[in-house]
Amino acid sequence: MNIIYKRSFISVYSSMMYRMNTTIIETHDLVLLVDPGYLPSEIQALRHHIDEIRDSRPLYLLFTHSDFDHIAGYGAFTDAITIAGQAFAEQTDQEQAIRDVQLYDDEAYLDRPYELLYPPVDYVIREEGQTLHIGNTQLTFYIAHGHNPDGILTVVEPLGLLIAGDYASDIEFPFVYYSFPEYRETLNTMQRLVAGGSVRVMIPGHGSVTEKQAEMERRVKASLAYLDLAEAEAVSGSRQPFERFVERQGYRYSLSLTRRHENNIKLLRE
Ligand SMILES: [Zn+2]
């Protein structure tokens, strides 16, 4: 796992798989782990690191959403106090979510030294803007559906940190597994949060961390532009705007992205 961002209270680790980000936030009050790794060796290293730094602080574990790569590490952190959205806790098909992890593990012949479990949720996010105070650390949550049906955004204060889940990445356009309108709503929420000026660091689920407000705005706008062009293509059938978009954005992993785009168009036509 590469460390891609380090400040006094925040460390972000990037997995060798999918460039998935794991965040560790350390304050006086807590250690907060977000989306704990993917490969077994990475998860083991995170576990060691957490045990070394934790002291007597409580360990919180936040899930941005239930996609297989984000929940695969849970079994190594069953002692943590878990946080996730209401849909994650109560609506998502837990067996199916774990089968997805198993499927990818089997394809890669991955052995995990812990049981695959769907995370039980101790602290459930039920309302837009719900807050959780732990000492002087404040977490505020926002519903973030669209990519999938059970995501949340989290703002951590006083650090000014926005944990974006699988939104506003610089290496991928929106993967819409669930709903275009709800995806748009999530982007609008992000736009509002960023425009408010209190977001100093934005951490996407995949790709690079940014401290620049202009870059945060650019990513949200690019995502909105993508939704527009996908909706237009679903009607017109013309792939050209998408190809120009991919070229302008300079995405690196273009073969897999084309397949994702085709899935998005399929969802729109249904
Ligand atoms: Zn993801």
Q: Which long-range contacts (CB under 8 A, 24 or more apart) does 98-106 make?
A: 98/71, 100/67, 100/68, 101/68, 101/71, 101/72, 103/68, 104/68, 104/69, 104/72, 105/72
Work out the average pLDDT over 98-116.
96
pLDDT averaged over the chain? 97
Work out the average pLDDT over 60-80.
97
Q: What is the pTM of this model?
A: 0.96
91 Cα: distance to centroid of ligand 1 (angstroms): 19
Instruction: Give the residue with greater pLDDT, 253 vs 32.
Output: 32
Domains of the chain: 2-269 (3.60.15.10)
pLDDT above 90: residue 3: yes
Instruction: Supply the pLDDT for residue 254.
Output: 84
Instruction: Supply the pLDDT for residue 65.
Output: 98
153 Cα: distance to centroid of ligand 1 (angstroms): 13
Distance CA 138, CA 132 (A): 6
219 Cα: distance to centroid of ligand 1 (angstroms): 17
pLDDT above 90: residue 255: no
> Inter-axis angle of helices 213-236 and 180-195, to 10 degrees?
160
- Nearest 10 degrees: Cα torsion 95, 101, 103, 104: 170
Instruction: Supply the pLDDT for residue 258.
Output: 93
pLDDT above 90: residue 30: yes
Confidence of residue 265 (pLDDT cuts 50, 70, 90): very high
Distance CA 220, CA 230 (A): 15
73 Cα: distance to centroid of ligand 1 (angstroms): 13
Work out the average pLDDT over 50-57.
95
18 Cα: distance to centroid of ligand 1 (angstroms): 8
Give phi and psi for 197, each to the nearest 5. Answer: 85, -5
What is the percentage of the chain residues whose pLDDT exceeds 90?
97
Confidence of residue 35 (pLDDT cuts 50, 70, 90): very high
